[in-house]
Amino acid sequence: ELLEETLFLTVNIIDRFLARENVVRKKLQLAGVTAMLLACKYEEVSVPVVEDLILICDRAYTRADILEMERRIVNTLNFNMSVPTPYCFMRRFLKAAQSEKKLELLS
C-alpha cells in the first residue's frame, strides 16, 4: 500500500548509504528495512510503526536495532533525504507526453 516514490527513495537511500558505509551481511536486511522506514517518513502520509517492521524481519532485529540504524543512516547521509529519483523524471516525462495511466504503470 506504499507509494511508488517510496520504493524508489528506499532504493536510493540504501544505495547512497552502502556507498559510504560497510555493512555486514547479517545487518543488510536491517539497513534495507530502516531505509524503507526513512523513505516512508519522507513520502507517506501514514508511516508504518517500527513493530510492523520487526515482524517483517521475522523478529531478527529489535526496536533499538532499527532506531540505531536509522540514526546511522541519517548521519551518514548528512540528513540529505530529498533526492530526485528515476520515478520523478519518468512521471514528468509521461505527463509532458500526455500519456495514459496504463503506460505509466508499464513504465
pLDDT, tens digit (0-9, with 9 covering 90-100), for 1-21 = 888 888 989 999 999 999 999
The answer to whether position 101 is within a domain reads no
- Long-range contacts for 39-43 (Cβ within 8 Å, ≥24 apart)? 39/6, 39/7, 39/9, 39/10, 39/13, 40/2, 40/6, 42/9, 42/81, 42/82, 43/2, 43/3, 43/5, 43/6, 43/9
Structural domain count of the chain: 1
pLDDT, tens digit (0-9, with 9 covering 90-100), for 63-102 = 999 999 999 999 999 998 878 778 778 888 888 888 888 8
Question: Rounded to two decimals, what is the model's pTM?
Answer: 0.80
Domain containing residue 12: 4-82
CATH of the domain at 58: 1.10.472.10
pLDDT, tens digit (0-9, with 9 covering 90-100), for 26-70 = 999 999 999 999 999 988 888 889 999 999 999 999 999 999 999
**What integer pLDDT is reported at residue 84 of this predicted model?**
76
The answer to whether position 67 is within a domain reads yes
